[in-house]
């Protein structure tokens, strides 16, 4: 019999070199020797020495190296470990630079870069950027977008957690779509027809009956057959749902609080990336809200333009509304409420005093819808009737109706598109810029 040799892993021994990759603390190490690892982002040859820019987990650090032999061998994108002295240098971005004492090459690239990734700006088209995404994301500014996106989600999560929400994970292979329409991906599920989830709607409502307040961050699939600057075929949805609400205003209040807390967190913990990308954070004291019918009238009155679509906003109309509201109130956010029932899904509650109008809202930020939310139907008879009047088959929604049949509190919630929010926050025209590996009508790789 073979004798197997085990080694033991306790998880208590951490990689020491990692400690100093948090270079925000580098200043504390001035005049001392540190061990760092990272990738050679850029080599700038000078007389008698070279500047090496070391790309670490979060920062790019200027290093000075005068070892000729080593410099001959070194190429950009080589992964190295180095021993270096931390030296104060006011002209360097971080206020310190590293003087290389020893450098070990851990891995050298096998080929030259097909695109320039280490310039101040990435001067390539969005398509090229996306074609070479595994590489172009290494660009200092490009990756900062996604560091900020991490910060946005951290902000959302910690706010929701503090407010009693439980994080859930619902299936993405489903039996029926929640949002309706034609933009649903069909798939073959062992010979049966199934779909990719258009939203976690049914599941988060069911979970309100369990945990009262829930949220989910997960993929959402929409077979958008058009190529627009605001649609992806797979995006990250931030959804929450809360029970025992008095009205959908409770949901709007919660969202305003969540955005506020998140912007504060970004300001405190992501100033490096905010500065690098020149981001102007919006202020939220209170977010103005107006009814859909009023918003329509306001745009028509101020711009003299009438839009064809009367039950919804056209993108251009959203943009104009945003501009008007900002001019009037200073707010870059605006809630629009009471959308017509025709354009809203079957689970949305209608205003009992004004049937035809829904107890729902959209949040528009810098000219683009980033959220749809509202109060849901919790009463069994009401939900059943709504399905029937819409000509939908209640049997297809049996597990959804099971929840209503057995008692549900008044509840409501919302869905926010992470890429759309990120794009608006950073001032991007195209939502693809805020997605690591976008899926659009033409793109399935990388």
224 binds ligand ATP (CB under 6 A): yes
| Packed helices 248-269 and 140-162: angle between N→C axes, nearest 10 degrees | 130
Size of the residue set binding ligand ATP (CB under 6 A): 18
Single residue of 65, 431, 432, 438 touching ligand ATP by CB under 6 A: 431
Single residue of 263, 417, 424, 439 touching ligand ATP by CB under 6 A: 417
Question: Which DSSP string do the residues of 280-308 spell out, in sequence order?
Answer: -PPP-S---EEEHHHHHHHHHHHH----S
Least spacing, CB of residue 372 vs Mg ion, in Å: 3
Residue-level length of the chain? 446
Q: Which is nearer to ligand ATP, 55 or 230 (CB)?
A: 230
How far apart are the C-alpha atoms of 158 and 251, rounded to whole Å? 17
Provide the token pair at 445.
């790789």
Q: Cα torsion for 230, 205, 373, 166, to the nearest 10°?
A: -80
Partner from ligand ATP, Mg ion, none binding residue 415, C-beta < 5-8 Å depending on class: ligand ATP
Q: Which residue's CB comes closest to ligand ATP? A: 417
Please list the residues that pair with 87 across neighbouring strands: 97
How far apart are the C-alpha atoms of 286 and 413, rounded to whole Å? 19
Instruction: Using alpha carbons, list the distances in angstroms from residue 326 to 282, 323, 429, 430.
Output: 11, 5, 19, 21
372 binds Mg ion (CB under 5 A): yes
E-strand ranges in 338-442 read: 360-365, 368-375, 411-417
Least spacing, CB of residue 202 vs ligand ATP, in Å: 14
Point out which span in 48-56, 131-139, 231-239, 375-383 binds ligand ATP (CB under 6 A).
231-239
How far apart are the C-alpha atoms of 403 and 407, rounded to whole Å? 7
Site for Mg ion in 317-336 (CB under 5 A): none
Provide the token pair at 346.
């079957």
Point out which span in 15-23, 67-75, 159-167, 367-375 binds Mg ion (CB under 5 A).
367-375
Count of beta carbons in the 10 Å neighbourhood of residue 287:
21
Could you give the 3-state DSSP secondary structure of residue 341? Answer: helix
Partner from Mg ion, ligand ATP, none binding residue 375, C-beta < 5-8 Å depending on class: none
419 binds ligand ATP (CB under 6 A): yes
Partner from ligand ATP, Mg ion, none binding residue 371, C-beta < 5-8 Å depending on class: ligand ATP
Partner from ligand ATP, Mg ion, none binding residue 200, C-beta < 5-8 Å depending on class: none
204 binds ligand ATP (CB under 6 A): no
Cβ atoms of residues 157 and 141 within 8 Å: no
199 binds Mg ion (CB under 5 A): no
Single residue of 370, 387, 423, 434 touching ligand ATP by CB under 6 A: 370
Instruction: Give 26's Cβ-side CA count (13 Å radius).
Output: 30
How far apart are the C-alpha atoms of 108 and 130, rounded to whole Å? 24
Single residue of 415, 422, 432, 440 touching ligand ATP by CB under 6 A: 415
Single residue of 231, 376, 378, 439 touching ligand ATP by CB under 6 A: 231
- Angle value at C-alpha 80, between 75 and 81, nearest 5 degrees: 150
143 binds ligand ATP (CB under 6 A): no
Least spacing, CB of residue 360 vs ligand ATP, in Å: 10
Residues of this chain that interact with Mg ion (CB under 5 A) are 372
Residues of this chain that interact with ligand ATP (CB under 6 A) are 179, 222, 224, 230-232, 235, 237, 369-372, 415-417, 419-420, 431
């Amino acid at each position: 019999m073979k004798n197997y040799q085990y080694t033991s892993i306790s998880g208590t021994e951490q990689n020491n070199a990692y400690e100093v990759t948090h270079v925000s603390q580098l200043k504390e190490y001035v005049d001392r020797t540190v061990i760092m690892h990272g990738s050679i982002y850029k080599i700038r040859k000078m007389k008698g020495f070279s500047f090496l820019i070391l790309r670490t987990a979060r920062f790019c650090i200027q290093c000075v190296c005068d070892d000729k032999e080593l410099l001959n061998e070194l190429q950009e994108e080589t992964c190295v470990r180095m021993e270096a002295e931390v030296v104060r240098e006011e002209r360097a971005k971080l206020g310190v630079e590293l003087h290389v004492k020893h450098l070990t090459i851990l891995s050298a690239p096998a080929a030259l870069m097909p695109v320039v990734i280490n310039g101040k700006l990435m001067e390539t088209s969005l398509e090229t950027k996306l074609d070479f995404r595994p590489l172009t994301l290494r660009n200092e500014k490009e990756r900062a977008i996604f560091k900020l996106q991490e910060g946005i989600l951290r902000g959302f999560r910690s706010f929701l957690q503090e407010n009693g929400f439980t994080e859930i994970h619902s299936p993405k292979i489903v039996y029926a779509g929640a949002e309706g329409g034609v933009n649903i991906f069909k798939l073959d599920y062992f010979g049966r027809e199934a779909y990719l989830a258009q939203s976690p709607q049914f599941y988060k409502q069911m979970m309100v009956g369990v945990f009262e307040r829930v949220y989910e961050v997960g993929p959402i699939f929409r077979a958008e057959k058009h190529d627009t600057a605001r649609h992806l075929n797979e995006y990250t949805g931030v959804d929450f749902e809360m029970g025992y609400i008095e009205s959908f205003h409770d949901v709007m209040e919660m969202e305003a609080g969540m955005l506020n807390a998140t912007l504060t967190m970004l300001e405190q913990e992501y100033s490096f990336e905010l500065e690098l990308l020149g981001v102007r954070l919006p202020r939220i004291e209170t977010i103005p809200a107006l009814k859909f019918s009023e918003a329509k009238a306001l745009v028509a009155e101020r711009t003299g333009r009438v839009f064809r679509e009367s039950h919804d906003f056209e993108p251009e109309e959203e943009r104009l509304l945003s501009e008007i509201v900002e001019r009037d109130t200073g707010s870059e956010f605006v809630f629009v409420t009471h959308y017509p029932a025709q354009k809203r899904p079957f689970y949305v509650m209608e205003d009992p005093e004004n049937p035809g109008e829904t107890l729902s809202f959209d949040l528009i930020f810098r000219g683009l819808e980033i959220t749809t939310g509202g109060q849901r139907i919790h009463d069994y008879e009401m939900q059943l009737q709504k399905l029937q009047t819409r000509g939908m088959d209640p049997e297809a929604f049996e597990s959804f109706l099971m929840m209503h049949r057995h008692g549900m509190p008044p509840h409501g919630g919302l869905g926010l598109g992470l890429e759309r929010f990120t794009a608006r926050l950073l001032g991007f025209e195209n939502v693809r810029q805020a997605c690591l590996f976008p899926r659009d009508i033409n793109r399935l790789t990388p």
